[in-house]
Chain A
Amino acid sequence: MLQRLLYQRKYKDSEFATLFAPYRGNEYVALDLETTSLDTKLADIVSMGAVIISENRILASQCFDIKIRATDKLAGDSIKVHRLRHSDLAQACSIEEALPKLLQFIGARPIVGYNIGYDQRILNRHCKQRYGFKLVNPLVDVGRMFADKVHVDHVGISPNQDLVHICQSLGIPLSGRHQAIDDAITAAMIYLRLQLGPRPTSAIPQAISA
């Protein structure tokens, strides 16, 4: 909060002013990044996907979907995970171009995601390096949200927060894994389901056969 007010003054004439304005809307942004490694200190961003959630709608038609040009860190291992080769990224834009666009897209909206803290740390590192600030948007982690809402049989059992499990128990279609935009949309669906739907149970629903 204090941080936000400080930034608000410091950056009030820059292009980032909107990030720190008090947020009055009711929209959220679901976000997902694909990165070169799981180490937040080193990882580079490969692609970014973000989509706005407005009331009960996911505005997928106006989504943010950008691939970032390769750096030398795009190593063999992570290519296997998200199947973006250097050649795929040749068409993409540089992180310097993409980052301001993403921040513009997010604005001051709260950010929704699966394990969103990780994405935030990476964004923070890049923002800090380039512009000197960190993100102050409120975060909503759908894994956490699920754990809070899910009904478990005994108090104290820690609920399974695996994404596949969450999607199965909420009956949300999970596909197109490891494309930033698809993961962002999945996170958005989980958010809406938890926010608006009935309380989930830990049991996996049986496929209903007609």
Chain B
Amino acid sequence: MSTDFNFQHPPFDQLEPKQRELVSSNLDIHYFQSQQKIVTAGAQASSLFIIIKGQVEERADNNDEVFAHYTLEDWFDVRSQFGGYAKHDYIALEETLCYALPSQIFRRLVSENSDFGDYFQRDLATRHQLVESREGNKNLAEFILTTIDERNVQPAVVIEGETSLQQATLIMREQKLESLLVNHDGCFGMLTGTDLLHAAVLVQQSLDTPVCQLANFNLISVNKGDFLFNAMLLMTRNSIERVVVKDQQKIIGILEMAHLLSLFSTHSHVLALRIARASSIEELSEAAHTLNKLVENLCNNGIRTLFIMKLLATMNEQIISRVFELSIPHQHHNHICLMVMGSEGRGEQIVKTDQDNGLVIEDGYDWPERQQQLNQFSEYLLELGYPPCPGNIMVNNPEWVQQQSQWSKTIANWIETGHGDAMMNLAIVLDAHAIAGNKSLLRRLRKDLMAQMANRSVTLAFFAQPALKFHTPLTLFGNIKSKQAGLDIKKGGIFPIVHGVRALALEHAISATNTLERIEQLASLKVIDEDSAANLKEALLLFFKLRIQQLFPAEEGQDYHVLKLDKLNHSQRDLLRHGLHVVKKFKQLLALHFNIRDY
């Protein structure tokens, strides 16, 4: 039959034509009156419902807790499709028309089409994330979808068969390789570190033995464009550690089990290796640009926000410290400390953010060519796609490059000024995180800052005030308020939490810079109670997540802090509303705590 079922709507867009046919020919249409119970808690599911029109509410069976609302093109109840029982009641809030897809057909599609199945698995996880614990590693999707290409293959270094055992060992050490390819009369063999060890230590071969006697010439190969997953199966089946990757008979590299395993926890490992191995800014640039791809890939595959942020923070840190090593000669490293600030310092960025960075120099350290080298550093970062900071908080700005005692004075000045820019600068430095050079320099600076701020409650109140500056976008009746342009989640949700938590962390001399960690420490110090802490963390993560989802697919000229509410489905809007209420409550707590009256 030709129903008008919308196959453009994910995840149904993942279905093959044959599978679409299967769906089309098995859909029934059900009509429910307002307040009619569609699914009763405890009942076994017979179909998956997809709403054509109307609204459905999910409630606990004692009717006092609402879990979610569903509307146009949402589906329910996925949980009970796999032979389980419905956990909650589903009630039509208004007249509702639904497509009904028989459960056994749905299960068949899930088992036939992994993309389709993954989507539902993830949907389950996300839909109930404020209710249920968020367990489970969602990296499988990314892993399965990845094909073999230059980006995930280790370069193959080919040596001649006559090379001696000793030379081969040297090459491996210099190039930081696990294995080499041996060319013996046009025949290729594999030589691993283990082979060399075995030959030299156990069999006690002389150091000038040609490696062609040691290499293994029964190579197993995969082709470029194959799925990583298959390569992994191949290795597991043959119990080997490496395979050779060919591109039409030509060997282009080696794929190692160790990497593949790390790919299970994303491509980060390979990327980290490439960053560490980059010997020029060009190579680094390649790695840096895969970072965006990686993030997009992870987002589109529903990987947890927290995980993406951690990963990105780590990767950015590695890239920036590598740039630091490439642009500033080694002899200075022990006398200076590079710090990143802002969201980068808190480890909360999702895109490559502005270059918020500064430098602490040991007192009395003489470094004449520093300006030129620091300019080079900022220049390189620009090349790698890190935009300049609008507030000019960068190491090529002398104001953010100071000796320790100078920094101490600067901070004292800011504290004395006690309002406006000075307070914001204080906030920025408070989030500073050392990533290269002598990290103890920053530790001392932070200690100094905390000591200067101790017992200055008035300054603290001024410091905390900006957290209350922006209005929480909720109406008098507790619904979301949004302008035509959308809802600025940074002003409305993220900043109040981040800054409020920052102020509390400053007050209690907590040295962590990540907001979630600060919240945890505040909770363990009993500054905020466990429940509020959990809610704050959930709300913040939710805001980050909604913001991420806006990024892909990115639209031209969009401000990614502005949420388009019409793009959110009902359950997301519900969660957002809850999150904003948490913010509102938190702001009241701050106002009380810091005695801020004109709020």
Of residues 23 to 71 in A, which have CB atoms within 8 Å of B's CB atoms?
A: 56-61, 63, 65
Closest to B97 in A: A189
A74 vs chain B, min Cβ distance (A):
20
| Given A176-B2, A210-B565, residue A185 in contact with residue B53 (CB < 8 A) | no
A173's partner among B25, B53, B566 (CB-CB below 8 A) is B53
Residues of B within 8 A of A60 (CB): 1, 3, 27-29
- Residue B34 lies at the interface, judged by CB distance under 8 Å to chain A: yes
Q: A196, B33: Cβ atoms under 8 Å?
A: yes
B455 vs chain A, min Cβ distance (A):
49
- Residue B32 lies at the interface, judged by CB distance under 8 Å to chain A: yes
Q: A189, B31: Cβ atoms under 8 Å?
A: yes
| Given A173-B53, A210-B565, A210-B573, residue A58 in contact with residue B29 (CB < 8 A) | yes
Q: A57, B34: Cβ atoms under 8 Å?
A: no
A56's partner among B31, B53, B102, B566 (CB-CB below 8 A) is B31
- Residue A132 lies at the interface, judged by CB distance under 8 Å to chain B: no
Q: B33, A197: Cβ atoms under 8 Å?
A: yes
Q: B34, A198: Cβ atoms under 8 Å?
A: yes
Q: B53, A171: Cβ atoms under 8 Å?
A: yes
- Residue B26 lies at the interface, judged by CB distance under 8 Å to chain A: yes
Residues of A within 8 A of B33 (CB): 56, 196-197
Residues of B within 8 A of A61 (CB): 1, 25-28, 102
- Per-residue B-contact encoding for A188-202, CB less than 8 Å = 1, 0 else: 110011001110000
Of residues 60 to 118 in B, which have CB atoms within 8 Å of A's CB atoms?
A: 95, 97, 100, 102
- Residue B4 lies at the interface, judged by CB distance under 8 Å to chain A: yes
- Residue A179 lies at the interface, judged by CB distance under 8 Å to chain B: yes
A207 vs chain B, min Cβ distance (A):
11
- Residue A175 lies at the interface, judged by CB distance under 8 Å to chain B: yes
- Residue B127 lies at the interface, judged by CB distance under 8 Å to chain A: no
Q: B3, A185: Cβ atoms under 8 Å?
A: yes
Q: B1, A58: Cβ atoms under 8 Å?
A: no
A197's partner among B2, B27, B95 (CB-CB below 8 A) is B95
- Per-residue A-contact encoding for B1-34, CB less than 8 Å = 1, 0 else: 1111000000000000000000001111111111
For chain A, the count of residues having a C-beta within 8 Å of the partner chain is 25
- Residue A99 lies at the interface, judged by CB distance under 8 Å to chain B: no
Q: B1, A63: Cβ atoms under 8 Å?
A: yes
Q: Which of B1, B3, B102, B565 has the most CB of A within 10 A?
A: B1
Q: B31, A193: Cβ atoms under 8 Å?
A: yes
- Residue B52 lies at the interface, judged by CB distance under 8 Å to chain A: yes
Residues of A within 8 A of B566 (CB): 210
What is the bound-complex CA distance between A179 and B566, given in angstroms?
A: 32
Q: A65, B97: Cβ atoms under 8 Å?
A: no
Q: B2, A189: Cβ atoms under 8 Å?
A: no
Residues of B within 8 A of A90 (CB): none
Residues of A within 8 A of B31 (CB): 56-58, 189, 192-193, 196-197
What is the bound-complex CA distance between A84 and B1, given in angstroms?
A: 16
B2's partner among A57, A182, A192, A210 (CB-CB below 8 A) is A182
| Given A182-B2, A210-B565, residue A56 in contact with residue B95 (CB < 8 A) | no
What is the bound-complex CA distance between A56 and B96, given in angstroms?
A: 11
What is the bound-complex CA distance between A42 and B4, given in angstroms?
A: 31
Closest to B99 in A: A60
Closest to B105 in A: A61
Closest to A188 in B: B29
- Residue A75 lies at the interface, judged by CB distance under 8 Å to chain B: no
A10 vs chain B, min Cβ distance (A):
35
Q: Which of B4, B565, B566 has the most CB of A within 10 A?
A: B4
Q: B2, A181: Cβ atoms under 8 Å?
A: yes
Q: B52, A173: Cβ atoms under 8 Å?
A: yes
What is the bound-complex CA distance between A171 and B31, given in angstroms?
A: 13
Residues of B within 8 A of A65 (CB): 1-2
What is the bound-complex CA distance between A197 and B52, given in angstroms?
A: 16
What is the bound-complex CA distance between A73 and B2, given in angstroms?
A: 25
Q: B28, A172: Cβ atoms under 8 Å?
A: no
Of residues 149 to 191 in A, which have CB atoms within 8 Å of B's CB atoms?
A: 171-173, 175-176, 179, 181-182, 185, 188-189
Closest to A195 in B: B31
Residues of B within 8 A of A181 (CB): 1-2
What is the bound-complex CA distance between A179 and B26, given in angstroms?
A: 18
B109 vs chain A, min Cβ distance (A):
15
What is the bound-complex CA distance between A172 and B30, given in angstroms?
A: 13
What is the bound-complex CA distance between A182 and B24, given in angstroms?
A: 12
B239 vs chain A, min Cβ distance (A):
49
B28 vs chain A, min Cβ distance (A):
5
- Per-residue A-contact encoding for B564-599, CB less than 8 Å = 1, 0 else: 011000000100000000000000000000000000
Closest to A175 in B: B4
Q: A172, B29: Cβ atoms under 8 Å?
A: no
Residues of B within 8 A of A192 (CB): 31
Q: A182, B4: Cβ atoms under 8 Å?
A: yes
B23 vs chain A, min Cβ distance (A):
10
Of residues 484 to 501 in B, which have CB atoms within 8 Å of A's CB atoms?
A: none
Closest to B30 in A: A57
Q: A59, B573: Cβ atoms under 8 Å?
A: no
Residues of A within 8 A of B95 (CB): 171, 193, 197-198
Residues of B within 8 A of A182 (CB): 2-4
Closest to B32 in A: A56
| Given A56-B31, A173-B52, residue A179 in contact with residue B2 (CB < 8 A) | yes
Closest to A196 in B: B33
Of residues 518 to 569 in B, which have CB atoms within 8 Å of A's CB atoms?
A: 565-566
What is the bound-complex CA distance between A58 and B52, given in angstroms?
A: 13
22 examples of A-B residue contacts, CB within 8 angstroms: A56-B32, A56-B33, A57-B28, A60-B1, A60-B29, A61-B1, A61-B27, A61-B102, A65-B2, A172-B53, A172-B97, A173-B52, A176-B2, A182-B2, A182-B3, A185-B3, A189-B29, A189-B97, A193-B31, A193-B95, A197-B31, A210-B566
Q: A60-B1, A196-B31, A210-B573 are in contact. List 19 more A-B contacts (CB 8 A).
A: A56-B31, A56-B33, A58-B30, A60-B3, A61-B1, A61-B26, A61-B27, A63-B1, A65-B1, A171-B53, A172-B97, A173-B97, A182-B3, A185-B29, A189-B29, A189-B97, A193-B31, A198-B34, A198-B95
**Taking beta carbons and an 8 Å cutoff, which residues of A are in contact with B?**
56-61, 63, 65, 171-173, 175-176, 179, 181-182, 185, 188-189, 192-193, 196-198, 210
- 8 residue pairs, one from A and one from B, having the closest CB atoms: A58-B29, A192-B31, A175-B4, A61-B26, A56-B31, A63-B1, A197-B95, A176-B4
